[in-house]
Amino acid sequence: MAMMTTPPSFFRPRSVLRHGALLWNFAGLQLTSGTVLRVAADIMSVWVAFVVGWILVLGRDLATLAARESQWLILVIGTYSALVFTAHAGIGLYTRARPYSLSTKIRSVAVINIGLFVIASTSMWIAGWPNAFTFGLLIAVFTGAMILQSLARIVADVLRTEEWRARDGAHQEAADENKVLVIGGAGYIGSALIGMLLKIGRQVSVLDAMHFGEDSLRPILDHPNLTLIREDFRHIEALTRAMRGVGSIIHLGGLVGDPACAVDTELTVDVNVTATKVIGEIAKARGVRRFIFASSCSVYGACDDVVDEDSRFHPQSLYARSKVASEAVLGTLHDDNFSVTCLRFATIYGMSGRTRFDLVVNLLCAKAVRDRVITVYGADQWRPFVHVEDVARAIVLTLNAPTELVAGEAFNVGSDAQNYTLGRVAELIKKQVPEAEITSDDTFVDKRNYRVSFRKIRSRLGFEPVWTLESGITQVMALACSNQVGHYSEPTYSNVLYLKEHGTAGFSSFKITGWENEFMNLDRIVSLGAANPSAA
């Protein structure tokens, strides 16, 4: 997901190592008209700012620049121009400009110019200000250059947008079944899925804000069939661009987990429900044929019976209600030309490209290894479980299935054999860490309690998990015991802790108009084409 306020990608440790190295980006410079124009605009901005400052701030005319005592200024401004070019090229503004958002480019320009200003003013203060150069002129040059460089990128962005619109108006590229857009593809599930899609020959685009960096996709970043789009999936223009020629969309984006969704109710509805409707509407208008939505078995919430895809919903959290609402919203868009499939995942465990320790099995394993304690809240509660790699396999299976088998359908993803009580999960973990002590805290009452039938996906698509809970526990424990990760309590391994640490103030938003409330209170979806609005 795109959405949290984070530093520009080239300031992150992983990105600096991969994309911020000067030699890396200089090696990618090509003598194209676009590159030449961008470089020329940046250099000219410095000289224009200098000339304007020379005339307006110092009150001198251009003829005085020819005087011998002023000629050294030409060398100073020339050096400044060279440093601007070097810095912009080094962070990839000439070679990697397209993946960066406009705000990232402007922030980059500002940081570079402010940094150079600090260096220049400090150097001149130490050396003593020359008669022909004043602090006011220095401010005018750096401020003017920064504004002009930013304006150049704004103008370029506007022109590019108009070009895309004109091109789209003249010709909308036909949907290619081999092209897949994965929204939120750098996350926990996505990082397990993308490699599988590339292996079967799909051309994959990933639309993700990269909140947790690019490490999750590191092994496949250079794959020729992978396109990475570092954008918030709620940006309409980014969505429209990303969907060009795409035949299928897999929507994994959103705020995930009960605690993370509870941090900000309106934000959760905005990101998980409002945005899903917008994504679905744009996808349908762009001619996308298949739409696979990542839902959750948590929609069943609290039930003593074994539930299947036709059972009533009893969502016990905002997260679960947002999934019900999203399924219903997409159901109103489903038709013969726009096939919607909802996959309701069991409680996921295991390791993927993005490490998470805020999932019950992963967390209990980490606590057993690190703290020698396995604390269970509500040992008698039932949950279905499934490994993250099996979830990815189920998505691929759905994508490859004949449309008539999956169109307008919802599938529970997991296996009957992996319905466990939390107490039983704790016992399986203790078998592998005998020295760990199981403690049960029944003061915290979690109303969620459900066992799920997975007969439909097994009989219709032939899906059977490869992983067992025991083998998944072994995998998580091996990682928790290694030196590859830090402490399991670090915010980077938890959606809710990361959200609390970074806050929500920087989130852009859609306007929640009220239609969401009806969908947030459904107890059943009769079919993906007709939602039953009876309140829970």
User: By C-alpha distance, which of 45, 280, 270 is closest to 148?
Assistant: 45
Structure tokens at 5: 């306020």
When pLDDT is cut at 50, 70 and 90, the band that residue 242 belongs to is: very high
In sequence order, the β-bridge partners of residue 530 are: 527
**Cα separation, 92 vs 90, whole angstroms:** 5
- pTM for the full model? 0.67
**C-beta of residue 100 within 8 angstroms of C-beta of residue 7:** no
Determine phi and psi for 234, rounding to 5 degrees: -95, 0
Does residue 111 carry a pLDDT above 80? yes
Q: Regarding predicted confidence, which is higher, 243 or 104?
A: 243
Q: Where are the alpha helices (DSSP H) in 16-90?
A: 22-27, 33-56, 71-90
pLDDT per residue as tens digits for the range 478-502: 998 887 888 888 887 877 776 677 6
Q: Which residues contact 378 (CB under 8 A, 6 or more apart)?
A: 422, 442, 444, 445, 446, 449
Residue 163's pLDDT is 59
Residue pointed to by tokens 């980006």: 25
Does residue 507 carry a pLDDT above 60? no
Average pLDDT over every residue of 240-259: 89
Per DSSP, the three-state class of 169 is helix
Residue pointed to by tokens 């090696």: 27
What does the DSSP 8-state code read for residue 126? H
When pLDDT is cut at 50, 70 and 90, the band that residue 24 belongs to is: very low
**C-beta of residue 45 within 8 angstroms of C-beta of residue 145:** yes
Q: 172-535: which CATH number, 3.40.50.720, 3.30.342.10, 3.30.2310.20, 3.20.20.70?
A: 3.40.50.720
Structure tokens at 527: 């079919």
Structure tokens at 59: 């009150």
pLDDT per residue as tens digits for the range 123-174: 777 776 655 567 788 888 889 889 998 898 888 877 766 655 555 554 456 7
**C-beta of residue 117 within 8 angstroms of C-beta of residue 141:** no
pLDDT per residue as tens digits for the range 318-343: 889 999 999 999 999 999 999 999 99
**Cα separation, 250 vs 182, whole angstroms:** 5
What does the DSSP 8-state code read for residue 493? G
In single-letter form, the type of residue at position 163 comes to E
| Spans of all domains in the chain | 31-169, 172-535
Q: Specify the range with the lowest mean pLDDT, choosing from 96-105, 167-176, 219-228, 363-372.
A: 167-176
**Cα separation, 384 vs 458, whole angstroms:** 15
Residue 74's pLDDT is 77
Q: Where are the beta strands (DSSP E) in 388-506?
A: 409-413, 419-421, 437-440, 449-452
Determine phi and psi for 347, rounding to 5 degrees: -65, 120
Output the CA torsion sign for 229, 233, 238, 240: positive
Could you report how far apart the first and last alpha carbons of the chain are, in Å?
29
**C-beta of residue 324 within 8 angstroms of C-beta of residue 318:** no
